Amino acid sequence: MQAYILGIDIGTGSTKAVAISLTGEALGTVSEHYPINSPEPGYSEQDPKLIWDAFVKCLSGITAKLGAPQAVGLSSAMHSIIPVNDAGDALYPMITWADARSENIAQALRATEKGASLYHNCGTAIHPMSPLSKLLWLKDNESEIFNAAHKFISIKEYIWFKLFGVFEVDYSIASATGMFDIVAKQWSNEALDLIGIPASKLSQPVNTTYYRANVNQSVVLTTGIATQTPFVAGASDGACANLGSHTTGEGIAALTIGTSGAVRITHSKPFYNYEAMVFNYLLDEQTFVCGGAVNNGGIALNWLLKNFLKKENPGSADYNALFAEIAAVPAGSEGLIFLPYLYGERAPLWDTKTSGTFFNVKPAHTRSHFLRAGLEGICFALNDVLKTLEDASGEITQVNISGGFTSSAVWTQVLADITGKKLAVLQSEDSSAMGAIYLAARVIHPQSYEQLTKVEHQQIIQPSENNHAVYSRMFPVFKKLYADLKDTMHLVDGWE
Ligand code: ADP
């Protein structure tokens, strides 16, 4: 059988295992889904046991076809928290990144000097997604669980404990907790003091290329993995995605639009911007992944499809019809501008009370103009994050794109024209799983690293100069509109 490395990405909706040969050939993919529960408005919880079961099924599914891998690299979603006992069993449901129960705590902290100091120390936005806010909530609202917990861990540490019986966390996942000093690479005393816990309540931090073998015998028996197979700790899904999509050089950014969206660059030092709360997560000891995530990606486009075209669960024919209609309208939608903040906004506004707005509506505007302006608004908002990063890091000349929106040539061209940047679409498997494979290869198979990580094929999308000129005139107006309307939006918050 062919020698291969396995990358496993433990995502929010599913876990996905991707097998790649030492020469970079895709050998197989297995994925397993699990539910997200919302027992109360704003809550987002999962059962970590179900995620472990999915992880085991993914491992077994691959080894049944390909035998044991040379190494396994791990990637996982950020910001989850699980209070556990000393046997690694959950004492409470896992709270996911999307959970908003600590909104008031985060908002109050953000307005203080302590909030700014914590951001500068730990690199994570002061936001309900952050485990820091979640632990403050647990302390106030579930004090018995909070006091009884042996440790507070993420889903990656939960799985690592089941594999090896130790509590260890990679620098990358630790750096997204809001409790980790990203420069000293140790738990932040400032954060621990605020929560009122000692560092022993958290796992031992390790580098992202740290590995262990001698996996638990029960895992060997159930999954077909070899006892000696090294498991590399790996990084978070966002950091792995930068590595997996070859976005680690200077002047290059990664931009994803799926349900939500994000822009990320890598750099040797963090970029601090408290107003935009640029995140600084570690990829490895020397590399920071800096960027911002937006709420209103594909989810805002789907709102347009539902309400203007009556498509509730759009399939590819519906997307094709939508983009054909959009393509018939000139760039700039003849002056119609859309602020896409239907679901509030994270970077760079950090405003849960903002909302969507169509501006400058004229009699000549038709449904198609509203659709095109809607799409342009989503891209302007991502351009806003890109520009914030560019201001801090220096000129960005290439943007590597990924996510569901890359299926549309119209959408990707609008993004190229708005940003004025060359876009590259990489033909690869899941980029987070690929990043985990690359981290594993770096330490276990350095001799194969170059061949394995070679970029085989990339499709390039060049911006149109004319359209970019139109959008360059509109972008400052887009920004000013939000600034002008912000207070009025807040006045009507909750009127729906
Ligand atoms: P996630 O992993 O965040 O759930 P995906 O990366 O799968 O999301 O992207 C989903 C989004 O991609 C949809 O919300 C939609 O906006 C967009 N999308 C899906 N299919 C198409 C298509 N055929 N053409 C254009 N956009 C599409």
**What is the CATH classification number for the domain harbouring 325?**
3.30.420.40
Domain boundary among 223, 239, 255: 239
Q: Is residue 67 assigned to a domain?
A: yes
In this structure, the residue with its CA closest to atom 20 of ligand 1 is 404
| CA gyration radius, the chain | 23
Ligand 1 mutation target, pool 405, 425, 428, most atoms within 8 A of CB = 405
User: How far does the centroid of ligand 1 lie from the alpha carbon of residue 369, in Å?
Assistant: 21
Same domain assignment for residues 313 and 199 = no
Per residue in 201-229, pLDDT (tens digit) is 999 999 999 999 999 999 999 999 999 99
Burial of 489 (0-12, 13-18, 19+ CB in 10 A): middle
Q: Is residue 358 assigned to a domain?
A: yes
Q: Is residue 320 assigned to a domain?
A: yes
Q: Is residue 210 assigned to a domain?
A: yes
Same domain assignment for residues 338 and 193 = no
Same domain assignment for residues 315 and 406 = yes
Domain boundary among 239, 259, 286: 239
Closest alpha carbon to 439 in 265, 209, 174, 210: 209
C-alpha–C-alpha distance, residues 96 and 364, integer Å: 45
Count CB atoms within 10 A of the CB of residue 85. 12
Sole residue written with tokens 């730990």: 122
Closest alpha carbon to 226 in 400, 88, 59, 83: 59
**Strand 204-206 versus strand 287-294 pairing type:** unpaired
Instruction: Evaluate whether 346 touches 292 at the Cβ level (below 8 Å).
Output: yes
Per residue in 275-292, pLDDT (tens digit) is 999 999 999 999 999 999
Same domain assignment for residues 228 and 304 = no
Is the minimum distance from the CB of 458 to ligand 1 under 6 angstroms?
Answer: no
Same domain assignment for residues 306 and 229 = no
Is the minimum distance from the CB of 406 to ligand 1 under 6 angstroms?
Answer: no
Instruction: Evaluate whether 173 touches 124 at the Cβ level (below 8 Å).
Output: no
In this structure, the residue with its CA closest to atom 18 of ligand 1 is 404
C-alpha–C-alpha distance, residues 38 and 40, integer Å: 5
Same domain assignment for residues 218 and 327 = no
Structural domain boundaries enclosing 411: 298-421+464-492
Which numbered atom of ligand 1 lies nearest the CA of 301?
16
Per residue in 146-194, pLDDT (tens digit) is 999 999 999 999 999 999 999 999 999 999 999 999 999 999 999 999 9
Domain boundary among 239, 257, 280: 239
Instruction: Evaluate whether 120 touches 128 at the Cβ level (below 8 Å).
Output: no
Instruction: Evaluate whether 136 touches 108 at the Cβ level (below 8 Å).
Output: no
Q: Is residue 197 assigned to a domain?
A: yes
Is the minimum distance from the CB of 408 to ligand 1 under 6 angstroms?
Answer: yes
Same domain assignment for residues 219 and 342 = no
Q: Is residue 347 assigned to a domain?
A: yes
User: How far does the centroid of ligand 1 lie from the alpha carbon of residue 404, in Å?
Assistant: 3
How sure is the predictor about 249, in pLDDT bands with cuts at 50, 70 and 90? confident
Amino acid in the structure at residue 428: S
Which residues have CB under 8 Å from 290's CB, separation 6+? 264, 265, 266, 267, 270, 271, 278, 279, 280, 281, 389, 392, 393
Number of domains in the chain: 2
